[in-house]
Chains A and B, each alone.
Chain A
Protein backbone atom coordinates (compact mmCIF):
# COMPACT_ATOMS: atom_id res chain seq x y z
CA UNK A 1 0.00 0.00 0.00
CA UNK A 2 1.14 3.49 -0.72
CA UNK A 3 2.17 5.51 2.24
CA UNK A 4 1.08 8.83 0.79
CA UNK A 5 -1.56 10.64 2.78
CA UNK A 6 -4.81 11.35 1.07
CA UNK A 7 -5.80 14.89 0.32
CA UNK A 8 -9.33 15.64 1.31
CA UNK A 9 -11.02 16.28 -1.95
CA UNK A 10 -14.62 15.97 -2.65
CA UNK A 11 -15.96 18.93 -4.44
CA UNK A 12 -19.24 18.29 -6.02
CA UNK A 13 -20.50 20.77 -8.56
CA UNK A 14 -24.25 21.02 -8.85
CA UNK A 15 -25.48 20.53 -12.38
CA UNK A 16 -24.30 23.58 -14.24
CA UNK A 17 -21.29 24.63 -16.23
CA UNK A 18 -18.48 22.10 -15.99
CA UNK A 19 -15.73 22.95 -13.56
CA UNK A 20 -12.57 24.19 -15.21
CA UNK A 21 -9.74 21.73 -15.64
CA UNK A 22 -6.78 21.48 -13.34
CA UNK A 23 -3.35 22.79 -14.31
CA UNK A 24 -0.86 19.97 -13.83
CA UNK A 25 2.89 20.42 -13.68
CA UNK A 26 6.12 18.63 -12.98
CA UNK A 27 9.10 20.74 -11.96
CA UNK A 28 12.51 19.14 -12.37
CA UNK A 29 10.98 15.94 -11.14
CA UNK A 30 12.58 12.52 -10.75
CA UNK A 31 9.89 9.90 -10.93
CA UNK A 32 9.67 6.23 -10.08
CA UNK A 33 9.36 3.82 -7.22
CA UNK A 34 11.68 4.48 -4.29
CA UNK A 35 15.13 3.22 -5.29
CA UNK A 36 14.06 2.72 -8.90
CA UNK A 37 13.88 6.07 -10.67
CA UNK A 38 12.37 5.76 -14.13
CA UNK A 39 12.40 9.36 -15.32
CA UNK A 40 14.86 12.11 -14.52
CA UNK A 41 14.60 15.90 -14.62
CA UNK A 42 11.12 16.11 -16.03
CA UNK A 43 9.66 19.60 -16.34
CA UNK A 44 6.28 19.66 -17.95
CA UNK A 45 3.22 21.83 -17.68
CA UNK A 46 -0.23 20.79 -18.76
CA UNK A 47 -2.44 23.89 -18.98
CA UNK A 48 -6.02 23.65 -17.73
CA UNK A 49 -8.28 21.96 -20.23
CA UNK A 50 -5.52 20.63 -22.47
CA UNK A 51 -5.49 17.08 -23.78
CA UNK A 52 -1.87 16.04 -23.56
CA UNK A 53 -0.93 12.69 -25.02
CA UNK A 54 2.24 11.07 -23.74
CA UNK A 55 3.90 8.71 -26.16
CA UNK A 56 6.98 6.54 -25.88
CA UNK A 57 8.15 2.95 -26.03
CA UNK A 58 7.10 0.38 -23.43
CA UNK A 59 8.89 0.73 -20.15
CA UNK A 60 9.92 4.35 -20.69
CA UNK A 61 8.09 5.58 -17.60
CA UNK A 62 4.79 6.74 -19.10
CA UNK A 63 2.74 5.04 -16.43
CA UNK A 64 5.08 6.33 -13.75
CA UNK A 65 4.42 9.87 -14.90
CA UNK A 66 0.69 9.29 -14.83
CA UNK A 67 0.71 7.64 -11.43
CA UNK A 68 2.67 10.56 -10.07
CA UNK A 69 0.00 12.98 -11.25
CA UNK A 70 -2.61 10.64 -9.75
CA UNK A 71 -0.86 10.83 -6.41
CA UNK A 72 -0.20 7.09 -6.25
CA UNK A 73 3.56 7.71 -6.44
CA UNK A 74 5.43 10.53 -4.76
CA UNK A 75 8.10 12.22 -6.87
CA UNK A 76 11.60 11.11 -5.82
CA UNK A 77 12.90 14.59 -6.51
CA UNK A 78 11.46 17.89 -7.72
CA UNK A 79 7.77 18.65 -7.51
CA UNK A 80 4.48 17.50 -8.91
CA UNK A 81 1.70 20.04 -8.65
CA UNK A 82 -1.96 20.48 -9.47
CA UNK A 83 -3.03 24.13 -9.74
CA UNK A 84 0.27 25.05 -8.14
CA UNK A 85 -0.37 22.93 -5.05
CA UNK A 86 1.92 19.93 -4.48
CA UNK A 87 0.27 16.59 -5.18
CA UNK A 88 0.39 14.69 -1.89
CA UNK A 89 -1.92 11.78 -2.62
CA UNK A 90 -4.84 10.57 -4.66
CA UNK A 91 -7.88 12.80 -4.78
CA UNK A 92 -11.30 12.73 -6.35
CA UNK A 93 -10.52 15.59 -8.70
CA UNK A 94 -7.85 13.58 -10.55
CA UNK A 95 -9.42 10.42 -11.94
CA UNK A 96 -7.36 7.54 -13.27
CA UNK A 97 -8.45 5.22 -16.07
CA UNK A 98 -6.53 1.98 -16.19
CA UNK A 99 -5.55 -0.25 -19.07
CA UNK A 100 -6.48 -3.37 -17.16
CA UNK A 101 -9.86 -4.12 -15.89
CA UNK A 102 -10.22 -1.88 -12.92
CA UNK A 103 -13.97 -2.27 -12.66
CA UNK A 104 -14.95 -3.97 -9.44
CA UNK A 105 -16.18 -7.37 -10.65
CA UNK A 106 -18.80 -7.72 -7.92
CA UNK A 107 -20.54 -4.48 -8.88
CA UNK A 108 -22.70 -4.02 -11.93
CA UNK A 109 -21.65 -1.40 -14.46
CA UNK A 110 -24.11 0.95 -12.76
CA UNK A 111 -22.66 0.12 -9.36
CA UNK A 112 -19.18 0.87 -10.65
CA UNK A 113 -20.15 4.20 -12.14
CA UNK A 114 -21.93 5.16 -8.93
CA UNK A 115 -18.87 4.40 -6.86
CA UNK A 116 -17.02 7.74 -7.18
CA UNK A 117 -20.29 9.49 -6.40
CA UNK A 118 -20.78 7.32 -3.34
CA UNK A 119 -17.27 8.21 -2.22
CA UNK A 120 -18.24 11.87 -2.59
CA UNK A 121 -21.36 11.25 -0.48
CA UNK A 122 -23.78 12.09 -3.26
CA UNK A 123 -27.33 11.06 -2.40
CA UNK A 124 -28.66 7.82 -3.75
CA UNK A 125 -31.17 9.31 -6.15
CA UNK A 126 -28.63 11.70 -7.54
CA UNK A 127 -26.12 8.86 -7.88
CA UNK A 128 -28.59 6.81 -9.84
CA UNK A 129 -29.36 9.70 -12.15
CA UNK A 130 -25.72 10.63 -12.74
CA UNK A 131 -24.72 7.03 -13.39
CA UNK A 132 -27.58 6.58 -15.83
CA UNK A 133 -26.60 9.77 -17.62
CA UNK A 134 -22.94 8.75 -17.99
CA UNK A 135 -23.69 5.18 -18.97
CA UNK A 136 -26.06 6.52 -21.61
CA UNK A 137 -23.39 8.94 -22.75
CA UNK A 138 -20.96 6.08 -23.46
CA UNK A 139 -23.67 3.94 -25.04
CA UNK A 140 -24.10 1.47 -22.20
CA UNK A 141 -27.58 2.52 -21.05
CA UNK A 142 -29.04 -0.91 -21.68
CA UNK A 143 -26.15 -2.71 -20.03
CA UNK A 144 -26.24 -0.87 -16.72
CA UNK A 145 -27.37 -3.89 -14.75
CA UNK A 146 -24.74 -6.26 -16.11
CA UNK A 147 -21.70 -7.44 -14.24
CA UNK A 148 -18.36 -6.49 -15.83
CA UNK A 149 -17.42 -10.01 -16.88
CA UNK A 150 -20.67 -10.32 -18.78
CA UNK A 151 -19.83 -7.55 -21.23
CA UNK A 152 -17.04 -7.19 -23.79
CA UNK A 153 -13.63 -5.63 -23.24
CA UNK A 154 -14.64 -2.52 -25.17
CA UNK A 155 -17.75 -2.12 -23.09
CA UNK A 156 -15.74 -2.48 -19.92
CA UNK A 157 -13.45 0.34 -21.02
CA UNK A 158 -16.48 2.50 -21.81
CA UNK A 159 -17.76 1.82 -18.33
CA UNK A 160 -14.37 2.78 -16.90
CA UNK A 161 -14.51 6.03 -18.82
CA UNK A 162 -18.02 6.69 -17.53
CA UNK A 163 -16.89 5.89 -14.01
CA UNK A 164 -13.94 8.26 -14.22
CA UNK A 165 -16.05 11.12 -15.58
CA UNK A 166 -19.00 10.55 -13.24
CA UNK A 167 -16.95 11.86 -10.34
CA UNK A 168 -16.67 15.22 -12.14
CA UNK A 169 -12.87 15.21 -11.97
CA UNK A 170 -10.88 18.25 -13.04
CA UNK A 171 -8.20 16.05 -14.54
CA UNK A 172 -8.54 12.65 -16.18
CA UNK A 173 -5.41 10.51 -16.31
CA UNK A 174 -5.63 7.70 -18.81
CA UNK A 175 -3.10 4.87 -18.83
CA UNK A 176 -3.25 3.22 -22.27
CA UNK A 177 -6.97 2.78 -21.79
CA UNK A 178 -7.51 1.32 -25.24
CA UNK A 179 -4.29 -0.68 -25.34
CA UNK A 180 -5.96 -4.05 -24.96
CA UNK A 181 -8.71 -3.48 -27.52
CA UNK A 182 -8.88 -4.64 -31.11
CA UNK A 183 -8.41 -2.11 -33.89
CA UNK A 184 -12.05 -1.36 -34.74
CA UNK A 185 -13.11 -1.10 -31.12
CA UNK A 186 -10.19 1.16 -30.45
CA UNK A 187 -11.12 3.55 -33.25
CA UNK A 188 -14.66 3.68 -31.91
CA UNK A 189 -13.38 4.40 -28.41
CA UNK A 190 -11.16 7.23 -29.64
CA UNK A 191 -14.12 8.90 -31.33
CA UNK A 192 -16.21 8.39 -28.21
CA UNK A 193 -13.53 9.90 -26.01
CA UNK A 194 -13.24 13.01 -28.17
CA UNK A 195 -17.00 13.37 -28.15
CA UNK A 196 -17.46 12.81 -24.43
CA UNK A 197 -14.66 15.20 -23.54
CA UNK A 198 -16.58 17.95 -25.30
CA UNK A 199 -18.93 18.00 -22.30
CA UNK A 200 -16.19 18.55 -19.80
CA UNK A 201 -13.41 21.04 -19.41
CA UNK A 202 -11.21 18.53 -17.63
CA UNK A 203 -7.52 18.43 -18.32
CA UNK A 204 -6.57 15.07 -19.81
CA UNK A 205 -3.24 13.27 -19.77
CA UNK A 206 -3.47 10.29 -22.09
CA UNK A 207 -0.65 7.78 -22.16
CA UNK A 208 -0.16 5.54 -25.18
CA UNK A 209 2.60 3.75 -27.05
CA UNK A 210 0.77 4.34 -30.30
CA UNK A 211 2.02 7.45 -32.15
CA UNK A 212 -1.05 7.61 -34.35
CA UNK A 213 -3.33 7.53 -31.37
CA UNK A 214 -1.26 10.22 -29.69
CA UNK A 215 -1.53 12.50 -32.71
CA UNK A 216 -5.19 11.77 -33.31
CA UNK A 217 -6.27 12.65 -29.78
CA UNK A 218 -3.79 15.15 -28.46
CA UNK A 219 -3.79 18.94 -28.42
CA UNK A 220 -0.15 18.44 -27.63
CA UNK A 221 2.12 15.41 -27.58
CA UNK A 222 4.84 14.73 -25.02
CA UNK A 223 7.60 12.37 -26.12
CA UNK A 224 9.24 10.12 -23.55
CA UNK A 225 12.27 7.93 -24.01
CA UNK A 226 15.59 7.03 -22.42
CA UNK A 227 14.38 7.92 -18.95
CA UNK A 228 13.67 11.52 -19.84
CA UNK A 229 11.18 13.84 -21.47
CA UNK A 230 12.39 14.32 -25.05
CA UNK A 231 10.16 17.29 -25.74
CA UNK A 232 6.60 18.20 -26.62
CA UNK A 233 4.91 19.06 -29.92
CA UNK A 234 1.75 21.05 -30.48
CA UNK A 235 -0.71 19.38 -32.81
CA UNK A 236 -1.63 22.13 -35.28
CA UNK A 237 -5.31 21.25 -35.61
CA UNK A 238 -8.50 21.97 -33.77
CA UNK A 239 -9.98 19.09 -31.82
CA UNK A 240 -12.20 18.26 -34.75
CA UNK A 241 -10.27 15.14 -35.50
CA UNK A 242 -11.54 14.56 -39.02
CA UNK A 243 -9.05 17.16 -40.15
CA UNK A 244 -6.26 15.05 -38.82
CA UNK A 245 -6.16 12.66 -41.68
CA UNK A 246 -4.45 15.55 -43.46
CA UNK A 247 -0.94 15.71 -44.80
CA UNK A 248 0.23 18.08 -42.10
CA UNK A 249 -0.26 15.37 -39.48
CA UNK A 250 1.77 13.01 -41.56
CA UNK A 251 4.77 15.32 -41.44
CA UNK A 252 4.39 15.65 -37.68
CA UNK A 253 4.11 11.87 -37.41
CA UNK A 254 7.43 11.45 -39.23
CA UNK A 255 9.01 13.98 -36.94
CA UNK A 256 7.69 12.34 -33.77
CA UNK A 257 8.74 8.88 -34.85
CA UNK A 258 12.18 10.25 -35.73
CA UNK A 259 12.55 11.92 -32.34
CA UNK A 260 11.54 8.75 -30.51
CA UNK A 261 13.93 6.50 -32.40
CA UNK A 262 16.97 8.77 -32.24
CA UNK A 263 15.97 9.59 -28.65
Chain B
Protein backbone atom coordinates (compact mmCIF):
# COMPACT_ATOMS: atom_id res chain seq x y z
CA UNK B 1 0.00 0.00 0.00
CA UNK B 2 2.77 2.35 1.01
CA UNK B 3 4.60 1.54 -2.19
CA UNK B 4 1.58 2.46 -4.32
CA UNK B 5 1.33 5.72 -2.47
CA UNK B 6 5.00 6.42 -3.20
CA UNK B 7 4.57 5.61 -6.87
CA UNK B 8 1.55 7.89 -7.15
CA UNK B 9 3.46 10.59 -5.32
CA UNK B 10 6.37 10.31 -7.75
CA UNK B 11 4.13 10.74 -10.78
CA UNK B 12 2.21 13.57 -9.17
CA UNK B 13 5.44 15.32 -8.24
CA UNK B 14 6.72 15.18 -11.82
CA UNK B 15 3.45 16.57 -13.14
CA UNK B 16 3.47 19.29 -10.50
CA UNK B 17 6.98 20.35 -11.43
CA UNK B 18 6.04 20.40 -15.09
CA UNK B 19 2.98 22.50 -14.41
CA UNK B 20 4.98 24.91 -12.24
CA UNK B 21 7.75 25.39 -14.78
CA UNK B 22 5.45 25.85 -17.76
CA UNK B 23 2.74 27.95 -16.11
CA UNK B 24 5.39 30.35 -14.80
CA UNK B 25 7.16 30.39 -18.18
CA UNK B 26 10.43 29.71 -16.41
CA UNK B 27 13.46 30.67 -18.49
CA UNK B 28 16.56 29.31 -16.86
CA UNK B 29 18.90 27.74 -19.35
CA UNK B 30 16.06 25.42 -20.37
CA UNK B 31 13.18 27.38 -21.85
CA UNK B 32 9.68 26.50 -20.76
CA UNK B 33 7.90 29.50 -22.22
CA UNK B 34 6.63 27.75 -25.35
CA UNK B 35 6.18 24.43 -23.62
CA UNK B 36 2.52 23.42 -23.14
CA UNK B 37 1.34 23.21 -19.57
CA UNK B 38 -0.10 20.10 -18.00
CA UNK B 39 -3.55 21.61 -18.19
CA UNK B 40 -3.10 22.40 -21.91
CA UNK B 41 -2.11 18.82 -22.53
CA UNK B 42 -4.91 17.46 -20.39
CA UNK B 43 -7.43 19.58 -22.28
CA UNK B 44 -6.03 18.44 -25.62
CA UNK B 45 -6.10 14.86 -24.38
CA UNK B 46 -9.72 15.18 -23.36
CA UNK B 47 -10.66 16.50 -26.80
CA UNK B 48 -8.66 13.84 -28.60
CA UNK B 49 -10.17 11.02 -26.59
CA UNK B 50 -13.55 12.03 -27.97
CA UNK B 51 -12.44 11.74 -31.60
CA UNK B 52 -12.53 8.61 -33.74
CA UNK B 53 -9.15 9.53 -35.22
CA UNK B 54 -7.40 9.06 -31.88
CA UNK B 55 -8.74 5.56 -31.45
CA UNK B 56 -8.06 4.76 -35.08
CA UNK B 57 -4.40 5.77 -34.60
CA UNK B 58 -4.16 3.81 -31.41
CA UNK B 59 -5.64 0.67 -32.95
CA UNK B 60 -3.33 0.96 -35.95
CA UNK B 61 -0.21 1.22 -33.80
CA UNK B 62 -1.26 -1.58 -31.48
CA UNK B 63 -2.11 -3.85 -34.41
CA UNK B 64 1.29 -3.20 -35.98
CA UNK B 65 3.17 -3.86 -32.79
CA UNK B 66 1.21 -6.97 -31.91
CA UNK B 67 1.76 -8.45 -35.37
CA UNK B 68 5.43 -7.51 -35.55
CA UNK B 69 6.19 -8.60 -32.03
CA UNK B 70 4.32 -11.91 -32.29
CA UNK B 71 6.13 -12.68 -35.52
CA UNK B 72 9.45 -11.75 -33.92
CA UNK B 73 8.75 -13.94 -30.90
CA UNK B 74 8.02 -16.99 -33.04
CA UNK B 75 10.91 -16.43 -35.46
CA UNK B 76 13.34 -15.43 -32.71
CA UNK B 77 12.66 -18.49 -30.59
CA UNK B 78 12.81 -20.78 -33.62
CA UNK B 79 16.04 -19.27 -34.96
CA UNK B 80 17.68 -19.08 -31.53
CA UNK B 81 16.87 -22.69 -30.77
CA UNK B 82 18.00 -23.91 -34.18
CA UNK B 83 21.28 -21.99 -33.98
CA UNK B 84 21.97 -23.26 -30.47
CA UNK B 85 21.28 -26.86 -31.42
CA UNK B 86 22.60 -27.27 -34.93
CA UNK B 87 26.07 -26.51 -36.14
CA UNK B 88 24.80 -26.47 -39.72
CA UNK B 89 22.18 -23.81 -38.96
CA UNK B 90 24.72 -21.89 -36.93
CA UNK B 91 27.12 -21.81 -39.88
CA UNK B 92 24.37 -20.95 -42.35
CA UNK B 93 22.50 -18.28 -40.41
CA UNK B 94 25.02 -17.11 -37.84
CA UNK B 95 27.26 -14.84 -39.94
CA UNK B 96 24.31 -13.37 -41.82
CA UNK B 97 22.44 -12.49 -38.65
CA UNK B 98 25.54 -11.08 -36.99
CA UNK B 99 26.02 -8.69 -39.89
CA UNK B 100 22.39 -7.60 -39.96
CA UNK B 101 22.08 -7.29 -36.19
CA UNK B 102 24.02 -4.01 -35.72
CA UNK B 103 21.89 -2.21 -38.31
CA UNK B 104 19.25 -0.20 -36.45
CA UNK B 105 15.89 -1.52 -37.54
CA UNK B 106 14.75 2.03 -38.31
CA UNK B 107 17.51 2.27 -40.90
CA UNK B 108 15.65 -0.44 -42.76
CA UNK B 109 12.87 1.98 -43.76
CA UNK B 110 14.20 2.37 -47.33
CA UNK B 111 14.52 -1.39 -47.61
CA UNK B 112 10.98 -1.85 -46.32
CA UNK B 113 9.66 0.71 -48.80
CA UNK B 114 11.41 -1.05 -51.67
CA UNK B 115 10.42 -4.54 -50.65
CA UNK B 116 6.87 -4.37 -49.44
CA UNK B 117 3.81 -3.50 -51.48
CA UNK B 118 2.27 -1.48 -48.63
CA UNK B 119 3.55 0.75 -45.87
CA UNK B 120 1.61 -1.29 -43.41
CA UNK B 121 3.65 -4.41 -44.10
CA UNK B 122 6.84 -2.38 -44.10
CA UNK B 123 6.17 -1.08 -40.61
CA UNK B 124 5.35 -4.55 -39.30
CA UNK B 125 8.58 -5.78 -40.89
CA UNK B 126 10.63 -3.09 -39.15
CA UNK B 127 8.96 -3.76 -35.81
CA UNK B 128 9.53 -7.45 -36.21
CA UNK B 129 13.19 -7.04 -37.12
CA UNK B 130 13.74 -4.84 -34.08
CA UNK B 131 12.29 -7.36 -31.64
CA UNK B 132 13.71 -10.41 -33.41
CA UNK B 133 17.33 -9.95 -32.37
CA UNK B 134 16.98 -9.69 -28.61
CA UNK B 135 14.63 -12.68 -28.66
CA UNK B 136 16.91 -14.73 -30.89
CA UNK B 137 20.06 -13.95 -28.92
CA UNK B 138 18.58 -14.67 -25.52
CA UNK B 139 16.94 -17.87 -26.74
CA UNK B 140 20.25 -19.03 -28.14
CA UNK B 141 22.03 -18.40 -24.85
CA UNK B 142 19.28 -19.95 -22.78
CA UNK B 143 19.17 -23.14 -24.85
CA UNK B 144 22.93 -23.51 -24.72
CA UNK B 145 22.97 -23.03 -20.97
CA UNK B 146 20.60 -25.94 -20.31
CA UNK B 147 22.00 -28.82 -18.30
CA UNK B 148 22.69 -31.73 -20.69
CA UNK B 149 21.51 -34.16 -18.04
CA UNK B 150 17.86 -33.16 -18.62
CA UNK B 151 18.10 -33.99 -22.27
CA UNK B 152 19.85 -37.28 -21.56
CA UNK B 153 17.16 -38.17 -19.07
CA UNK B 154 14.45 -37.67 -21.67
CA UNK B 155 16.40 -39.53 -24.34
CA UNK B 156 16.91 -42.54 -22.08
CA UNK B 157 13.14 -42.60 -21.63
CA UNK B 158 12.96 -43.19 -25.35
CA UNK B 159 12.18 -39.57 -26.20
CA UNK B 160 13.20 -38.30 -29.64
CA UNK B 161 14.07 -34.83 -30.88
CA UNK B 162 10.53 -33.52 -30.80
CA UNK B 163 10.08 -34.69 -27.24
CA UNK B 164 13.38 -33.14 -26.17
CA UNK B 165 12.34 -29.88 -27.81
CA UNK B 166 8.92 -29.76 -26.20
CA UNK B 167 9.77 -31.19 -22.80
CA UNK B 168 13.28 -29.88 -22.20
CA UNK B 169 14.52 -27.12 -24.49
CA UNK B 170 11.49 -24.85 -24.62
CA UNK B 171 10.40 -25.01 -20.99
CA UNK B 172 14.00 -24.83 -19.79
CA UNK B 173 14.79 -21.84 -21.97
CA UNK B 174 11.61 -19.92 -21.10
CA UNK B 175 13.19 -17.73 -18.41
CA UNK B 176 15.83 -16.60 -20.89
CA UNK B 177 13.33 -16.28 -23.72
CA UNK B 178 11.19 -13.97 -21.64
CA UNK B 179 14.23 -11.85 -20.86
CA UNK B 180 14.56 -11.36 -24.62
CA UNK B 181 10.86 -10.72 -25.09
CA UNK B 182 10.93 -7.98 -22.45
CA UNK B 183 13.74 -6.21 -24.24
CA UNK B 184 12.07 -6.91 -27.57
CA UNK B 185 8.75 -5.28 -26.73
CA UNK B 186 10.62 -2.13 -25.73
CA UNK B 187 12.59 -1.83 -28.95
CA UNK B 188 9.45 -2.70 -30.91
CA UNK B 189 7.80 0.44 -29.64
CA UNK B 190 10.79 2.55 -30.52
CA UNK B 191 10.71 1.21 -34.03
CA UNK B 192 7.00 1.21 -34.68
CA UNK B 193 6.72 4.86 -33.64
CA UNK B 194 9.77 5.93 -35.63
CA UNK B 195 8.60 4.00 -38.68
CA UNK B 196 5.18 5.59 -38.45
CA UNK B 197 6.78 9.01 -38.21
CA UNK B 198 8.74 8.38 -41.38
CA UNK B 199 6.40 6.40 -43.55
CA UNK B 200 3.13 5.76 -41.83
CA UNK B 201 -0.40 6.61 -42.68
CA UNK B 202 -2.17 6.89 -39.35
CA UNK B 203 -0.81 5.55 -36.12
CA UNK B 204 0.28 7.27 -32.92
CA UNK B 205 3.74 8.04 -34.28
CA UNK B 206 2.34 9.48 -37.50
CA UNK B 207 -0.14 11.66 -35.60
CA UNK B 208 2.55 12.91 -33.23
CA UNK B 209 4.70 13.97 -36.14
CA UNK B 210 1.76 15.58 -37.92
CA UNK B 211 0.99 17.62 -34.83
CA UNK B 212 4.58 18.74 -34.70
CA UNK B 213 4.53 19.92 -38.32
CA UNK B 214 1.46 22.04 -37.62
CA UNK B 215 3.00 23.36 -34.38
CA UNK B 216 0.35 21.73 -32.18
CA UNK B 217 2.58 21.09 -29.17
CA UNK B 218 -0.11 19.90 -26.78
CA UNK B 219 -1.02 17.35 -29.48
CA UNK B 220 2.59 16.20 -29.66
CA UNK B 221 2.60 15.62 -25.92
CA UNK B 222 -0.71 13.78 -26.08
CA UNK B 223 0.98 11.44 -28.56
CA UNK B 224 3.98 10.99 -26.30
CA UNK B 225 1.85 10.24 -23.27
CA UNK B 226 -0.17 7.76 -25.32
CA UNK B 227 3.02 5.99 -26.40
CA UNK B 228 4.28 5.90 -22.83
CA UNK B 229 1.08 4.40 -21.49
CA UNK B 230 0.79 1.82 -24.29
CA UNK B 231 4.44 0.84 -23.91
CA UNK B 232 4.03 0.42 -20.21
CA UNK B 233 0.90 -1.71 -20.68
CA UNK B 234 2.45 -4.02 -23.24
CA UNK B 235 5.68 -4.53 -21.35
CA UNK B 236 3.72 -5.23 -18.18
CA UNK B 237 1.74 -7.82 -20.10
CA UNK B 238 4.93 -9.48 -21.33
CA UNK B 239 6.51 -9.41 -17.87
CA UNK B 240 3.53 -10.88 -16.14
CA UNK B 241 3.16 -13.60 -18.76
CA UNK B 242 6.83 -14.35 -18.16
CA UNK B 243 6.37 -14.61 -14.42
CA UNK B 244 3.40 -16.87 -14.95
CA UNK B 245 5.28 -19.41 -17.05
CA UNK B 246 8.46 -19.38 -14.95
CA UNK B 247 6.88 -19.93 -11.58
CA UNK B 248 8.99 -23.03 -11.16
CA UNK B 249 12.19 -21.04 -10.79
CA UNK B 250 13.60 -21.37 -7.29
CA UNK B 251 12.68 -18.30 -5.32
CA UNK B 252 9.82 -17.41 -7.64
CA UNK B 253 6.99 -18.77 -5.54
CA UNK B 254 4.77 -16.17 -4.01
CA UNK B 255 6.04 -15.37 -0.55
CA UNK B 256 4.10 -17.22 2.08
CA UNK B 257 3.11 -15.14 5.02
CA UNK B 258 4.37 -16.04 8.48
CA UNK B 259 6.89 -18.63 7.35
CA UNK B 260 10.25 -18.40 9.01
CA UNK B 261 13.29 -20.51 9.59
CA UNK B 262 15.18 -22.89 7.32
CA UNK B 263 12.17 -25.19 6.90
CA UNK B 264 10.14 -22.25 5.75
CA UNK B 265 10.41 -22.77 2.06
CA UNK B 266 8.49 -26.00 2.26
CA UNK B 267 6.49 -25.14 5.30
CA UNK B 268 3.06 -25.79 3.92
CA UNK B 269 3.79 -29.24 2.60
CA UNK B 270 5.44 -30.18 5.82
CA UNK B 271 2.45 -29.30 7.91
CA UNK B 272 0.22 -31.67 6.01
CA UNK B 273 2.69 -34.24 4.85
CA UNK B 274 4.82 -36.77 6.64
CA UNK B 275 8.06 -35.67 8.21
CA UNK B 276 10.77 -35.84 5.57
CA UNK B 277 13.21 -38.61 6.07
CA UNK B 278 16.21 -36.39 6.03
CA UNK B 279 16.94 -32.92 7.17
CA UNK B 280 18.82 -31.68 4.18
CA UNK B 281 17.83 -28.14 3.42
CA UNK B 282 16.18 -27.83 0.04
CA UNK B 283 19.13 -27.09 -2.13
CA UNK B 284 18.54 -24.34 -4.60
CA UNK B 285 19.85 -25.53 -7.89
CA UNK B 286 19.74 -22.13 -9.41
CA UNK B 287 23.10 -22.42 -11.09
CA UNK B 288 21.86 -24.76 -13.76
CA UNK B 289 18.88 -22.60 -14.53
CA UNK B 290 19.35 -19.73 -16.92
CA UNK B 291 18.27 -16.56 -15.24
CA UNK B 292 16.39 -14.14 -17.42
CA UNK B 293 18.38 -11.23 -18.68
CA UNK B 294 17.79 -7.87 -17.10
CA UNK B 295 14.11 -7.30 -17.36
CA UNK B 296 14.60 -4.94 -20.22
CA UNK B 297 12.92 -1.90 -18.86
CA UNK B 298 13.87 1.58 -19.92
CA UNK B 299 13.64 0.80 -23.58
CA UNK B 300 10.33 2.48 -23.97
CA UNK B 301 10.32 5.53 -26.13
The answer to whether A115 has its CB under 8 Å from any CB of chain B is yes
B residues near A37, Cβ cutoff 8 Å: none
| Contact bitstring B235-279, A, C-beta under 8 A = 1, else 0 | 000000000001011100000000000000110010011101111
Give the Cβ gap from B254 to chain A, nearest Cβ, in Å.
Answer: 13
Distance A96 CA – B149 CA, assembled complex (angstroms): 11
Q: Are B158 and A182 in contact (CB under 8 A)?
A: no
The answer to whether A70 touches B156 (Cβ under 8 A) is yes
Q: Residues 160-203 of chain A: 1 if any B CB is under 8 Å from the residue's CB, otherwise 0?
A: 00000001000001000000011011001000000000000000
- Taking a contact as CB atoms closer than 8 A, the residue among B160, B280, B281, B289 that contacts A105 in the complex is B289
Cβ contact of A96, chosen from B153, B163, B265, B278, cutoff 8 A: B153
Q: Chain A 82-111, CB within 8 Å of chain B: the 1/0 string?
A: 000000001111111010111011110000
A150 in complex: contacting residue of B147, B265, B272, CB < 8 Å: B265
Q: Does A123 contact B (CB under 8 A)?
A: no
Number of contact residues on A: which range applies?
Answer: 35 or more
Q: Does B85 contact A (CB under 8 A)?
A: yes
- Output the least CB separation between A162 and chain B (Å): 13
CA separation between A154 and B279, bound complex, in Å? 9
Q: Which of A96, A142, A182 contacts B274 (CB 8 A)?
A: A142
In the bound complex, what is the Cα–Cα distance between A24 and B149 (angstroms)? 23
Q: Which B positions have Cβ atoms within 8 angstroms of A?
A: 85, 147, 149-160, 163, 167-168, 171-172, 174, 246, 248-250, 265-266, 269, 272-274, 276-285, 288-289
Determine the main DSSP class of B at the interface with A.
loop
Q: Is A153 an interface residue (CB 8 A)?
A: yes
Which of A98, A104, A153 is the one whose CB lies under 8 Å from B278? Answer: A153
A-B pairs with beta carbons under 8 Å apart, 7 shown: A90-B156, A105-B288, A142-B273, A149-B285, A150-B269, A150-B282, A152-B278
Q: Across the interface, do B248 and A185 meet the contact criterion of CB distance under 8 Å?
A: no
Residues of B within 8 A of A118 (CB): 167
Pair A91/B158 contact, Cβ less than 8 Å: yes
For B281, give the chain A residue with the smallest CB separation. A152
Q: How far is the CB of A138 from chain B (nearest CB, A)?
A: 11
**CB-CB nearest in chain B for A158:** B277
Chain B contacts for A119, CB-based, 8 A? 154, 157-159, 163
Q: A96 to chain B: closest CB distance in Å?
A: 4
Apart from A96-B156, A100-B147, A154-B280, 6 more pairs, CB < 8 Å:
A6-B160, A102-B149, A105-B248, A146-B269, A150-B266, A151-B276
